[in-house]
């Protein structure tokens, strides 16, 4: 792959994955470039973090994600080729999926299909895993299709849940595994997609 590939990262909160992906791509001198970060949350920590790295962040209100024509126009105008959802807490509208088929990648902090679907996000996932006394949780990186959390799985990795784990300690362990793997999976997927 020689030409530049522009990606947009969607993030709603702390944005540690977004920053980690940015650092990885920069350190590798990758031709996959983060063009911008899209957020729905004016108070998201990612806004200041991105600013300090000179990454443009654009805020769209929640209504735009329900009726995304403005967002779609924006992404197409910018020449965005892939979207990465990294801690993004809004539903992805079908119209956006149709414009970017097989080109939206999400990370979910459990071993899907377990602990996925509506209402299962963030700390709620880890609370449910702890409540059920699961022996393992983990991460799932998958493509986004019209069925919530059911798109093609690109990568999964197990994380052992210890007896001492709380939802918070498990979230921390899982986030580390996300950071280790998400940039690599994104890079490999985009490269293989472009080679087809």
Name the site residues for ligand GRF (rule: CB under 6 A). 11, 13-17, 86-87, 107-109, 121-122, 174-175, 178
Shortest reach from residue 6's CB to ligand GRF, in Å:
20
Query: Cα–Cα distance between 159 and 177 in angstroms, integer?
Result: 8
Provide the angle, in degrees to the nearest 10, between the axes of the packed helices 123-131 and 167-195. Answer: 120
- In sign, the C-alpha dihedral spanning 61, 91, 178, 109 is positive
- Minimum CB distance to ligand GRF smaller for 75 or for 105: 105
3-state SS class at 4: coil
Shortest reach from residue 44's CB to ligand GRF, in Å:
8
Query: Cα–Cα distance between 82 and 190 in angstroms, integer?
Result: 8
Burial 143-152 (b: 16+ CB within 10 A, else e): bbbeeebebe
Shortest reach from residue 47's CB to ligand GRF, in Å:
12
- Minimum CB distance to ligand GRF smaller for 75 or for 174: 174
Residue with the closest Cβ to ligand GRF?
Answer: 87
Maximal CA-CA distance, the chain: 50
* CA 40 and chain centroid, separation: 14
Q: 91, 93, 108, 179: which one is catalytic?
A: 108
- Minimum CB distance to ligand GRF smaller for 5 or for 137: 137
- Minimum CB distance to ligand GRF smaller for 10 or for 82: 10
* Catalytic residue check, 142: no
Shortest reach from residue 175's CB to ligand GRF, in Å:
5
Contact 156, 126 (CB under 8 A): no
**Which residues are identified as catalytic?**
108
């Amino acid at each position: 792959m020689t030409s530049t590939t522009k990606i947009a990262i969607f993030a709603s909160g702390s944005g540690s994955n977004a920053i980690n992906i940015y650092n990885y791509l920069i350190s590798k001198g990758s031709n996959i470039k983060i063009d911008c970060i899209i957020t729905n949350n004016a108070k998201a920590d990612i806004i200041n973090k991105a600013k300090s790295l000179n990454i443009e962040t654009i805020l769209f209100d929640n209504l735009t994600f329900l009726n995304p024509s403005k967002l779609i126009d924006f992404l197409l105008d910018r020449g965005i080729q892939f979207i990465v959802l990294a801690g993004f807490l809004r539903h992805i509208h079908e119209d956006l999926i149709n414009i970017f088929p097989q080109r939206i990648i999400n990370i979910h902090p459990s071993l899907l299909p377990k602990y996925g679907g509506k209402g299962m996000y963030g700390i709620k996932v880890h609370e449910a895993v702890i409540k059920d006394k699961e022996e393992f949780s983990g991460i799932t990186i998958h493509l986004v299709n019209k069925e919530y959390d059911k798109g093609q799985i690109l990568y999964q990795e197990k994380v052992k849940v210890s007896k001492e784990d709380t939802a918070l300690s498990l979230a921390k362990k899982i986030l580390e595994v996300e950071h280790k793997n998400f940039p690599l999976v994104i890079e490999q997927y985009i490269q293989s997609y472009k080679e087809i």
